[in-house]
């Protein structure tokens, strides 16, 4: 009897492991999803700047923000993540990818060889991106210079080095739900730029013990993942700027009290300064309309 019970427990355990592996396996988009979707590199440049690609994928101190050689280290409680080369180089970059490969990475965090990407790559925000904008971005990336810089591995300790666990994280935190209401076209555009392309919450919202965003404290500020200082909150509870002040800051980096953007935000401003005034105004309208979060 005990032997049968033991075998039953082992069988149930094996079934549970198998089900867990199947449920958390890397997902892929349907290859037919982008049939007939053509990318416009001119529109893709706007997506590029709004999405902040240059902030992580250009080397610090590089002359150009269009050579996506990678190498930036993102320090966190889980270890250091190193941004890879995503230039059009055929072997060291993503020049050998297809649009579907790119969609799998950007929307689902799945590599071409079927591995989970770590969510230091903000696909949990990019998943809200439209298919057209994704194709536009892909078309623009093809126009950029190729770099043969070899991507460096992440520096993660156990158990964070086990990528299979990321599948469970995705089930908990990666979805297409919007967080803020957007009752007007301007706020809808601002929400898209902030919550999807700009992935602002990835830095400005605190995280729970598993590294997921705490939606109850949306944009309320968070500890700097590097351990140095704090990333400020931008909800009205922490930021009492006028919409015009916010838009001007996103264009120039200058605050209403004559200070200027520093740290990683300086890079964000360099990106957003390339957007239209209408888009920066939409971002400002979204931020000003947020409910206060403590």
pTM for this prediction: 0.90
3-state secondary structure of 32: helix
C-alpha distance from residue 70 to each of 89, 182, 279, 282 (Å): 12, 35, 27, 30
What is the rounded distance in angstroms from the CA atom of residue 27 to the CA atom of residue 111?
Answer: 10
**What are the per-10-residue average pLDDT scores of the chain (294 residues)?**
43 40 76 92 98 92 87 87 96 97 97 95 97 98 97 87 88 94 98 98 93 94 83 94 97 93 92 98 98 88
Instruction: Write b or e for each residue in 34-50: b if 16 or more Cβ atoms lie within 10 A of its Cβ, otherwise e.
Output: beeeebbbebbbbbbbb
Domain boundaries in the chain?
Answer: 33-177, 178-294
- pLDDT at position 76, please? 83
| Residue 146 near residue 200, CB atoms below 8 Å | no
Beta-ladder partners of 230: 223
pLDDT (0 to 100) of residue 23: 60
Q: Which helix or strand (DSSP H or E) is residue 72 part of?
A: none
CA distances 194 to 113, 178, 218, Å, are 30, 11, 12
- The reported pLDDT for the residue numbered 289 is 97
Distances (CA, A) of 211 to 22, 27, 220, 273, 278: 22, 20, 16, 30, 33
């Amino acid at each position: 009897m005990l032997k049968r019970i033991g075998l039953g427990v082992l069988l149930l355990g094996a079934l549970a492991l198998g089900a867990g592996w199947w449920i958390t396996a890397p997902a892929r988009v349907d290859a037919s999803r982008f049939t007939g979707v053509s990318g416009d590199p001119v529109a893709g440049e706007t997506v590029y700047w709004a999405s902040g690609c240059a902030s992580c994928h250009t080397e610090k101190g590089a002359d150009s923000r269009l050579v996506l050689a990678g190498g930036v280290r993102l320090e966190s409680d889980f270890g250091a993540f190193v941004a890879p080369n995503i230039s059009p180089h055929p072997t060291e970059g993503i020049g050998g990818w297809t649009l579907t490969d790119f969609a799998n990475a950007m929307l689902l965090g799945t590599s071409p060889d079927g591995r989970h990407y770590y969510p230091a790559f903000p696909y949990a925000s990019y998943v809200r991106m439209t298919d057209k904008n994704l194709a536009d971005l892909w078309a623009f990336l093809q126009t950029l210079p190729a770099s043969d810089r070899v991507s460096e591995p992440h520096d993660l300790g156990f158990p964070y080095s086990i990528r299979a666990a990321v599948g469970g994280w995705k089930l908990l935190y990666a979805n297409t739900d919007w967080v803020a209401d957007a009752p007007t076209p301007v706020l809808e555009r601002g929400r898209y730029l902030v919550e999807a392309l700009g992935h602002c919450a990835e830095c400005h919202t605190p995280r729970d013990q598993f590294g997921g965003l705490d939606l109850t404290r949306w944009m309320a500020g968070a500890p700097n993942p590097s351990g140095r200082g704090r990333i400020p909150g931008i909800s009205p509870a922490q930021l009492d700027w006028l919409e015009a002040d916010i838009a001007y800051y996103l264009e120039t980096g200058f605050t209403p009290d004559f200070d200027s953007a520093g740290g990683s935000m300086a890079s964000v401003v360099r990106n957003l300064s390339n957007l239209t005034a209408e888009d920066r105004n939409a971002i400002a309208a979204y931020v000003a309309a947020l409910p206060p979060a403590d």
